[in-house]
């Protein structure tokens, strides 16, 4: 491997853009719409999604990482429901 190839491979990893979150089917809960959108990152999927009601929406991002997109989406929905129970319209 040439010196240039080595340098390019080291710095090329830093240029790698994270993939866009893939929105999964929404779920209705107490008048709110919960839309999970796990973000694939190194080591798994980050809990991410949107909680909306009418014209208002709240981006929901957590530090939690899970091994699969499905388990991540289920965790996002669980946490979103808990947040809705605790804060209601105060989310917005």
pLDDT at 43: 84
Query: Mean pLDDT of all residues in the chain?
Result: 88
Task: Please name the helix (run of DSSP H) or strand (run of DSSP E) that holds residue 65, with its range, or none.
Answer: strand 56-66
Range of the domain at 70: 19-91
Q: pLDDT tens, 47-71?
A: 999 999 999 999 989 999 999 999 9
- Asked if 36 and 76 count as a contact pair (C-beta separation under 8 A), the reply is yes
Grade residue 4 by pLDDT with cuts at 50, 70 and 90: low
Q: Does 5 reside within a domain?
A: no
- Asked if 36 and 24 count as a contact pair (C-beta separation under 8 A), the reply is yes
This prediction's pTM: 0.77
Looking at the 3D structure of the chain, how many domains does it have?
1
Rounded CA-CA distance 43/7 in Å is 24
pLDDT at 75: 96
CATH number at residue 84: 3.30.160
């Amino acid at each position: 491997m040439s010196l240039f190839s080595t340098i390019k491979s080291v710095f090329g990893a830093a240029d790698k853009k994270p993939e866009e979150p893939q929105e999964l089917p929404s779920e209705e809960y107490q008048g709110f719409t919960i839309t999970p959108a796990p973000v694939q990152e190194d080591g798994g999927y980050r809990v991410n999604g949107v909680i909306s009601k009418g014209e208002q929406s709240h981006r929901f991002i957590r530090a939690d990482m899970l091994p699969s997109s499905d388990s991540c989406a289920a965790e996002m929905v669980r946490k979103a429901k808990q947040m809705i129970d605790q804060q209601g319209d105060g989310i917005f």
